[in-house]
Amino acid sequence: MKKIIALVASIISFNVIAVEGGYKLVGLGITPLTDKSNTTYGLGVSLGGGYNFNKYLGIEAQIGAQGIWSNTNISVYSLPAITLNGYLPINEGTSIYGKIGKSETLVTIGNGGDQTNYSGVTNVYGLGTEFSLSGNKDTYRIGIDHYDLGFVNGSSLSANYINLSSTTHF
């Protein structure tokens, strides 16, 4: 797992994917964490990169942390999420996107010496819009990514990552 995280980090920081169609992204948002009894909110952050084969189809890898500073001490780490992305161009510089994939996910419940860790592969999917300002190659995304965390001790826990991302295209 550490090797996968190191690979994604090197892609992002050293522009290994600096070929036409490649991009890197940085995201920040709010994460509602929901179980049977309630919803709590935390901060979410993500780093990633991807490759668009054409204006309709691409692949993406992201590492992220959701639920940071939530009031129930639940944290979710996607290490990484690998998705297939589909784009529907609306006009020049604006697209609606959807994505579906898998994520190796670590969930930590509790704090300090009273933590319980769960890990498993989960489904991830998302929807949003991607747009450029002033017609340049760099774009922004407003979207939501959903992580189904049913592997956590038989719970119905799920995380939604409502985010604003900045992408730099090569």
- Give the pLDDT score at 41: 84
pLDDT score at 86: 97
Query: What confidence tens digit (pLDDT) does each residue in 44-60 have?
Result: 999 999 999 999 999 99
What is the reported pLDDT for 45?
A: 94
Output the pLDDT for position 143: 97
- What was the pLDDT predicted at 145? 95
pLDDT of 34 reads: 77
Instruction: Give the residues of the chain that fall short of pLDDT 50.
Output: 1, 14-17
DSSP letters for 47-111 = EEEEEESSSSEEEEEEEEEEEET-TT-EEEEEEEEEEEEEEEEEETTEEEEEEEEEEEEEEEES-
Report how far residue 12's alpha carbon sits from residue 89's, in angstroms, rounded to the nearest whole number.
Answer: 25
pTM for this predicted structure: 0.82
What the chain holds in terms of domains, given with CATH numbers, is 2-169 (2.40.160.20)
Contact criterion met (CB below 8 Å) for 102 and 115: no
What pLDDT is stored for residue 56 in this prediction?
Answer: 96
Question: What does the pLDDT read at residue 109?
Answer: 78
Give pLDDT, residue 112. Answer: 66
- The helix (run of H) or strand (run of E) holding residue 13 is helix 2-14
pLDDT of residue 14: 47
